[in-house]
Amino acid sequence: MTAGARTAKKSLMTKKPASRGRRRKPSLGTRLLRSPRIQGAIAGTAASYLRFVHRTSRFAFDPPAPYEKYIHLAPVIFTMWHGQHFMLPFARIFEFDVRVLISRHSDGEINALVAEKLGVGTIRGSTARNPARMIEKGGMAGFLEMKAALEEGACVTMTADISNLAPRRAGLGVVSLAKVTGRAIVPVAYASSRRIDVKSWDQATVNLPFSRAVCAVAEPVLVPADADDAALEAKRREVEDRLNEATDRAYGIVDRRAG
Query: Helices 173-181 and 139-151 sit at what angle, rounded to 10 degrees?
Result: 40
Residues 6+ apart with CB under 8 A from 123: 99, 100, 101, 102, 142, 145, 146, 149, 156
| Calpha distance 173→235 (Å, rounded) | 11
Res 80: pLDDT: 95
Res 59: pLDDT: 96
CATH number of 35-254: 3.40.1130.10
3-state SS, residue 98: strand
Residue 216 in contact with residue 246, Cβ under 8 Å?
yes
Cα–Cα nearest to 191, from 127, 113, 243: 243
| Calpha distance 40→135 (Å, rounded) | 28
Please report, as a single letter, which amino acid is at residue 208.
L
Res 200: pLDDT: 80
Residue 138 in contact with residue 124, Cβ under 8 Å?
yes
Residue 43 in contact with residue 151, Cβ under 8 Å?
no
Cα–Cα nearest to 196, from 83, 41, 111: 83
Buried/exposed 235-258: b ≥16 CB within 10 Å, e otherwise = bbebbbebbbebbebbbbbbeeee
Buried/exposed 15-26: b ≥16 CB within 10 Å, e otherwise = eeeeeeeeeeee
Please report, as a single letter, which amino acid is at residue 139.
G
Give the bridge partners for 62, in sequence order.
216
CA angle 214, 215, 221 (to 5 degrees): 150
Task: Flag residues of the chain having pLDDT under 70.
Answer: 1-23, 25-26, 28-33, 93-94, 105-107, 126-139, 163-165, 258-259
Q: What is the number of other CB atoms lying within 10 angstroms of the CB of residue 32? A: 13
Res 76: pLDDT: 96
Q: Identify the burial level of 118 via C-beta atoms within 10 angstroms of its C-beta, where 0-12 means exposed, 13-18 middle and 19 or more buried.
A: buried
| Calpha distance 81→78 (Å, rounded) | 11
